[in-house]
Structure formats: structure tokens, C-alpha cells
């Protein structure tokens, strides 16, 4: 179809050119008008071709610009994706660091059990719960017998290994909702939630028995230990520090009586007065 139109245009151009060249039409009024029309059409055609060339250049420049913008967009998207990945890694590392800092602040670095700070917070919470709901709890203060002798005989690295294994044994003896922490040095403190002195004595006896069976192998040595335990039940009129003091007092008595034993504080909570 396009070829047919182009052929008709060429044929019309040829006829017009032939008419303008024919001498018999010289001076004819329509010849001059036809010549002017042909000249104007040629000018318009030239102008149109120039516009088309400009348009083509514009289209090319526009396409190049779009292409450049697309490449720039892709680069920015890739940069953003890298930034997001870096941010995700940073957030993950920050979470790990915060978790590690939390563990360091609340757990003993050597044995991995809770430290004095965490257990003190838990004891204060139990004091509030006891005051509000009339509940009770018991404490067991545990001390390794003759631990200085272990360090002096085998060295502090063996002593550290003994504490690590002892902590595992003590944790295995308590209930899920109890807490056993390293209080300091070779001392551990267990908090027995909702436990009277009878329950506390039963758990403490389990600790004594399992520690007697413990054999710690470290640096070519095999070390066995015993522990002494003082147990006290919380009284309604006191805070955890007072309960701890009574457990500490009977622990000293247990060590003075020969060690490797449990002693119980004699004081018991008075029953509430019924209305």
C-alpha cells in the first residue's frame, strides 16, 4: 500500500513538472499559480524533512537519556540493596551484641549460671510476691569444702574446672522454676520458689548426694569434692537479705560440724491468724 501511494506521488510530480516545462502554457494564469504551489510544497517538504531529522535526533537523545536514567536507577537500586544487606547484618550483630551484654551482666562468665545480680533481682521479686500473696520461698547457701586446698594442690585452672562441673550438677538438681546462681568464689546460692523448709531440704539432699558422686577430670588429675549447705525458709516479716543471713549462719555451723552436710535454720513462718 505504501509503495502504491509513493508511486502515485512520483507520477503527480512528473506531470506537474511536465506542465511547467511545456512552452504552450507559458503565460497561462494557472501556470504561475501552479509554479508557486510547487515551490511552496518543496519548501514545506524541506521544512518537514528538517523537522523529521530534528525529531529523530530528539528521539535518539531521549532514548539515550532514558537509557542513562535506567542505568543510574539500576545502580541506585543495587546500592540500596547493598545498604539494606549491610543494615540487616548490622542489626543482627547489634542484636547478638546486646544479647551477649545481657548475658554478661546477668550470668557468671566462668560457669554460665546466673550471677549475684540476677538472683538478687529475683529474690526482691519473690519478696514482693510473698508480701502480696502470702507465698513463701527457701534459700540454700552452698559452699565447696576445702576449695582452697584444691587450688593450692592442682592449680587455679583445675579449680575453675571443678566450679564449672559443680554448677552443672547443682542446676540439674533444682526444679524448672527455681534458680541457682554463683554468689561469689566457691559459693552458690539456690532459690527454691514456693518451697517450705521440707522441700528445700529434699532438694539440698539431692545436691549433696550428686556432688559426692562427682569426679572432675582436668589436666591429668581427677578431683572429687563435697559441699556444705545451709538452708533457711523466708519469714513474712523479713526481706531476702535476712533470710540469706540465717542461711549463711547455719552454713557456718555445718562447716564447723565437719562439712559435707546440710543444716537447717530452725525458724519457721508463723501461720496466719484466721479471722
The predicted structure's pLDDT at residue 182: 97
The predicted structure's pLDDT at residue 212: 97
184 and 78 part of one domain: no
Look at 100 and 4; give whichever has higher pLDDT: 100
* Residue pLDDT, tens place only, 48-60: 777 777 777 777 7
Options 126, 165, 186, 201, the catalytic residue = 186
The predicted structure's pLDDT at residue 5: 47
249 and 149 part of one domain: yes
Closest to 192 in 3D by CA, of 112, 135, 148, 242 = 135
The predicted structure's pLDDT at residue 161: 97
Domain holding 56, by residue range, is: 1-106
128 and 202 part of one domain: yes
Of 71, 88, 106, which closes a domain?
106
Of 106, 134, 150, which closes a domain?
106
- Cα–Cα distances (Å) from 32 to 24, 36, 38, 95, in that order, read 13, 6, 10, 92
CATH code where residue 125 lies: 3.30.70.270
| Widest distance between CA atoms in the chain | 151
74 and 202 part of one domain: no
29 and 133 part of one domain: no
57 and 142 part of one domain: no
Point out which residues pair with 217 in neighbouring strands: 222
Q: To which residue does cell 525458709 refer?
A: 233
Residue 31 reports pLDDT greater than 70: no
217 and 245 part of one domain: yes
Of 47, 74, 106, which closes a domain?
106
In this predicted structure, which of 6-20, 108-122, 156-170 has the lowest mean pLDDT?
A: 6-20
What is the Cα–Cα distance from 48 to 46, expressed in whole angstroms?
A: 5
In this predicted structure, which of 72-81, 102-111, 146-155 has the lowest mean pLDDT?
A: 72-81
Residue 243 reports pLDDT greater than 80: yes
Backbone phi, psi, residue 54, to 5°: -65, -45
Q: Is residue 273 part of a domain?
A: no
Whether 186 sits among the annotated catalytic residues: the reply is yes
Q: Is residue 176 part of a domain?
A: yes
146 and 250 part of one domain: yes
Beta strands 137-144 and 187-193 are: antiparallel
Look at 14 and 89; give whichever has higher pLDDT: 89
Residue 99 reports pLDDT greater than 80: no
Number of domains forming the structure of the chain: 2
What is the Cα–Cα distance from 183 to 189, expressed in whole angstroms?
A: 6
258 and 174 part of one domain: yes
Residue 6 reports pLDDT greater than 60: no
Amino acid at each position: 500500500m505504501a509503495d502504491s501511494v509513493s508511486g502515485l506521488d512520483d507520477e503527480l510530480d512528473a506531470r506537474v513538472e511536465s506542465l511547467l516545462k511545456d512552452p504552450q502554457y507559458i503565460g497561462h494564469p494557472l501556470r504561475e499559480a501552479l509554479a508557486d504551489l510547487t515551490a511552496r510544497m518543496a519548501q514545506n517538504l524541506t521544512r518537514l524533512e528538517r523537522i523529521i531529522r530534528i525529531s529523530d535526533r530528539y528521539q535518539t537523545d531521549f532514548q539515550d537519556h532514558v537509557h542513562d536514567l535506567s542505568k543510574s536507577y539500576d545502580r541506585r537500586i543495587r546500592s540500596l540493596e547493598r545498604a539494606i544487606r549491610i543494615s540487616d547484618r548490622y542489626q543482627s550483630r547489634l542484636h547478638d551484641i546486646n544479647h551477649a551484654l545481657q548475658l554478661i551482666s546477668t550470668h557468671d562468665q566462668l560457669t554460665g549460671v546466673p550471677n549475684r545480680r540476677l538472683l538478687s533481682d529475683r529474690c526482691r521479686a519473690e519478696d514482693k510476691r510473698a508480701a502480696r500473696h502470702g507465698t513463701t520461698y527457701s534459700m540454700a547457701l552452698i559452699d565447696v569444702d576445702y576449695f582452697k586446698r584444691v587450688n593450692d594442690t592442682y592449680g587455679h585452672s583445675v579449680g575453675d574446672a571443678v566450679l564449672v562441673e559443680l554448677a552443672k550438677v547443682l542446676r540439674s538438681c533444682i526444679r524448672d522454676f527455681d534458680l541457682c546462681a554463683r554468689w561469689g568464689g566457691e559459693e552458690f546460692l539456690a532459690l527454691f520458689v514456693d518451697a517450705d523448709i521440707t522441700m528445700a531440704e529434699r532438694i539440698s539432699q539431692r545436691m549433696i548426694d550428686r556432688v559426692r558422686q562427682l569426679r572432675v577430670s582436668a589436666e591429668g588429675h581427677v578431683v572429687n569434692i563435697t559441699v556444705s549447705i545451709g538452708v533457711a525458709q523466708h519469714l513474712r516479716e523479713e526481706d531476702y537479705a535476712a533470710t540469706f543471713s540465717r542461711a549463711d549462719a547455719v552454713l557456718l555451723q555445718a562447716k564447723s560440724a565437719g562439712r559435707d552436710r546440710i543444716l537447717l535454720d530452725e525458724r519457721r513462718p508463723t501461720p496466719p491468724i484466721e479471722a
